[in-house]
Each structure stands twice: as C-alpha cells, then as structure tokens.
C-alpha cells in the first residue's frame, strides 16, 4: 500500500525532497508578499488605479471646467474605456462613443415625438437592448440602453452637453491608459510556465518515490487529476499570452522599441506553451502506463526499478527548479535502456511497459530541455532589445 498522502496530494518524502515547491511552510507575510509581487496582482492593481484616475479626472473636468450640474456621463464613459490594453481601450472607447451616441439619439426621438411615460421608457429600453446585439458594438452595446435611461431620468437632458461629456470621458480614458504604464504581460506567461514546471517536477518526484516502494492505483489517479489541473492552468497561460499580444498593439513602449531600429526575433511564448502542453501529455501518458502496469505486472525487475526511479526523481527535481538542468538525464535513460536490453533475465512480457516508461520520460526530458533553452534565448533577446 502507498504511504499516507498529504493534503497537496504528494507523499511526505516527495514534499521534503522538493522543498522549494512547498508553499505551506511560508509565513502569511511571505505568502502575501508573493501574491502582492505577482504580475497578475500588479496588473489588476494598475488597472484599478488607472480607472480611478480616469474617472476622477473626467468628473473634475466636467464640474470644474464644463460646469456640468449632473456630471455623470464623463466619469462613466471614462470607466468604460479603461481596459487592460491600449488596443482594447481604443476599440472599446470607439464602441462606447457609437453606442452612447445612438442611445442619446434614441432618447431624443422617443422624448420628442412620443413623450415620457412608462410605455415609451420600455420602448427605449427594448430598442436599446436589441441594438446592443449588433456584432461590431456588442462589447459596449448595452450603453445604448443605459444612456437612454440616463437621459430619460435627467431633469434637463441637455443633449449637446452630454455628448461633449461623452467625448471627454472616452478621451480621458484612452489618454490615461496610454500614459500610465501600459502593460506588457510576458511576465505573467513566464510565471505560468514556472508554475507548471514546478507541478510537473513534483509529480515526477512523487511518482519516483512511490514507485520505489509498493503502491496502488490511487497514486496514479492523483497524478492524473494533477495533470488535468495543469492543463487547466495552461489554458490560463494561453489567455495571458493572447492578452500579451494584444497589449503590444498600439502600446507606446512597443512602438518606441520598434522605432529604435530592427529588433532581434524573439522566440514566442506560443511555441513555449505548445511544448509545455506536449510535456503534460507525455506525463499523463506516463501516469496511465504505470496505472495499467499495476494490474499487468506483479513483480518489477529490481535493476530497472532502481535505475528508472533515480532518473525520474532527478528529472523531477531539475524540472521543478527554475535553475535546474536535464542535460545529463537523456544519456542516463539511454544507458538504462541499453543495459536492460542486454539483461537475459528480463521477462519478455515486461518489455513494452519498461520501454514505454523510458520513452515517456525521455520525451519529457527533451521537452523540458527545449523549454528551458527557448526561455533562456527569449530572455537574452529581451535584454538585448531593452
């Protein structure tokens, strides 16, 4: 039977051998600092600050310069315009202008020709919500209905003043997003890769430590669930990379770098994530091989077990460590395969399983090496470009 499992799903010996993976031992202060310094937290805080600056500035100008008695349009549209990327701010800002203008026109037509009552209010909302489904303004299309509501409920609609405030709010939102450190999100993608590498390494270490002794299929089920969780985290990484690509469009820092001269081609995180996805697939295949072997093989060859366990453990530790290397592990696997192929006592029926374990681990080693090399090349290129 396997040893008692920890709350993280790893054996105690695996947790001890990979101490840098363990977050439970950190103090609350340490975990808070780690959370606070993470790229995701920094990006969210920056977006919040930009929204506050944009909304407050729009309101102050509406009240202090335009002398608006009901200064709601400018700060509201400023908040709608501030987004995670400059490109998205420009796109959503344009949609907000179009939608709000249509909403004002809708409210003007209904109020002028049909008057203000419960039926005309419902009609304006109905038309506004149908208009919000137009594909090219769908992201901010609901502003048609909300602008109509604002106009209907105002004592004096003052359409001209509201339109000026609309343009003011959108303009301030775009300017603030341009000036207040527009985000480039490659750091977040790197952090996801580090996290998945740590988790893959932890599974391999746990797998090696469990396989060194007796174990049952509960272990393999835990590892399969962990690989599924890694795949989900990888999906988040893909979303971050897509947002990073969007953040480079119309981003002042990216444009400034381009004007400095031709940039060295940098390996894309899309390529890195594709390789990480392959690594997760091979780890899942390795887990299923061990799962099936629990039923098919009653006794393992001692020489193979000890050799494979030692290599798998070292590969896991190296993958989980951002500074680790797996360069020597491929030769060790090749040596193990050669040694076992010459063993006369090896049962013929075990070869497919033994070969699958060696092959899957070798694929993981190659992928881990490729990912590490690609990231080193990318970091070097990024520093040179900076």
- Evaluated on CA atoms 75, 77, 83, 85, the torsion sign reads negative
Largest CA distance in the chain: 97
Rounded to 5 degrees, φ, ψ at 115 are 80, 180
The confidence score (pLDDT) of residue 264 equals 44
The confidence score (pLDDT) of residue 316 equals 92
Nearest Cα neighbor of 362 from 312, 321, 309 is 312
3-state secondary structure of 365: helix
The confidence score (pLDDT) of residue 168 equals 92
Distance CA 48, CA 296 (A): 57
Tokens matching residue 167:
């343009």
Tokens matching residue 239:
């979303």
The confidence score (pLDDT) of residue 12 equals 42
**Which three-class secondary structure string do you get for 97-153?**
HHHHHHHHHHHHHHHHHCCCCHHHHHHHHHHHHHHCCCHHHCCCCCHHHHHHHHHHH
Question: Average pLDDT of each block of 10 consecutive residues along the chain (386 residues)?
Answer: 38 40 54 66 81 93 87 88 77 86 90 89 91 82 87 79 89 83 63 86 90 74 89 84 67 53 56 89 91 76 87 92 83 87 68 87 91 70 49
Distance CA 77, CA 165 (A): 9
Q: Are 101 and 150 in contact (CB under 8 A)?
A: no
Distance CA 298, CA 110 (A): 81
The confidence score (pLDDT) of residue 311 equals 93
Q: Are 317 and 205 in contact (CB under 8 A)?
A: yes
Nearest Cα neighbor of 240 from 284, 194, 205 is 194
Tokens matching residue 27:
């103090």
Nearest Cα neighbor of 200 from 310, 283, 281 is 283
Q: Are 320 and 200 in contact (CB under 8 A)?
A: yes
pTM of the model: 0.63
The confidence score (pLDDT) of residue 4 equals 37
Distance CA 42, CA 191 (A): 13
The confidence score (pLDDT) of residue 190 equals 77
- Cα angle 76-82-84, degrees, rounded to a multiple of 5: 150
The confidence score (pLDDT) of residue 314 equals 93
The confidence score (pLDDT) of residue 281 equals 94
Q: Are 200 and 279 in contact (CB under 8 A)?
A: yes
Tokens matching residue 166:
């609309």
3-state secondary structure of 5: strand
Taking only Cα atoms into account, the Rg of the chain, rounded to an integer number of angstroms, comes to 29
Rounded to 5 degrees, φ, ψ at 261 are 140, 175
Q: Are 53 and 46 in contact (CB under 8 A)?
A: no
Spell out the alpha helix ranges (H) of the chain: 12-17, 28-37, 39-64, 73-81, 86-113, 118-131, 143-153, 159-179, 186-211, 217-248, 252-259, 269-296, 302-320, 329-341, 351-385
Count CA within 13 A, CB hemisphere, residue 295. Answer: 7
Tokens matching residue 259:
């004007």
């Amino acid at each position: 039977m396997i040893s008692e499992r920890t709350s993280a799903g790893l054996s105690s010996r695996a947790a001890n051998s990979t101490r840098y993976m363990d977050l439970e031992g950190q103090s609350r202060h340490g975990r808070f600092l780690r959370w606070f310094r993470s790229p995701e937290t920094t990006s969210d805080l920056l977006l919040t600050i930009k929204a506050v600056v944009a909304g407050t500035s729009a309101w102050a100008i509406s009240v202090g310069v335009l002398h608006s008695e009901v200064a709601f349009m400018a700060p509201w549209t400023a908040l709608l315009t501030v987004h995670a990327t400059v490109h998205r701010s420009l796109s959503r800002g344009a949609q907000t202008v179009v939608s709000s203008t249509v909403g004002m026109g809708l409210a003007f037509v209904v109020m002028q020709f049909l008057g203000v009552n419960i039926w005309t209010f419902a009609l304006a909302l109905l038309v506004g919500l149908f208009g919000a489904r137009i594909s090219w303004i769908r992201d901010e299309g609901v502003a048609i209905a909300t602008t109509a509501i604002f106009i209907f409920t105002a004592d004096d609609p003052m359409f001209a003043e509201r339109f000026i405030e609309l343009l003011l709010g959108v303009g301030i939102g775009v300017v603030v997003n341009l000036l207040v450190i527009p985000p480039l999100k490659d750091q977040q993608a790197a952090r996801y890769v580090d996290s998945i590498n740590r988790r893959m390494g932890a599974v391999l270490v746990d797998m090696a430590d469990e396989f060194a002794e007796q174990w049952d299929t509960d272990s393999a089920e835990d590892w399969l669930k962990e690989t599924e969780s890694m795949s989900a985290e990888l999906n988040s990484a893909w979303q971050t990379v897509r947002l990073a690509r969007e953040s480079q469009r119309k981003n002042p820092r990216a444009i400034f770098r381009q004007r400095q001269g031709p940039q060295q081609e940098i390996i894309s995180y899309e390529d890195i994530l594709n390789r990480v996805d392959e690594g997760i697939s091979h780890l899942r295949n390795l887990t299923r091989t061990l799962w099936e072997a629990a039923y098919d093989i009653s006794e393992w060859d001692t020489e193979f077990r000890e050799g494979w366990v030692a290599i798998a453990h070292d590969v896991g530790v190296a993958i989980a460590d951002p500074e680790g290397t797996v360069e020597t592990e491929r030769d060790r696997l090749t040596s193990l395969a050669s040694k076992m192929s010459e063993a006369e006592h090896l049962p013929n029926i075990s070869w497919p399983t033994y070969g699958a374990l060696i092959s899957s681990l070798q694929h993981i080693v190659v992928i881990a090496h490729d990912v590490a090399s690609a990231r080193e090349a990318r970091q070097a290129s990024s520093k040179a470009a900076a």
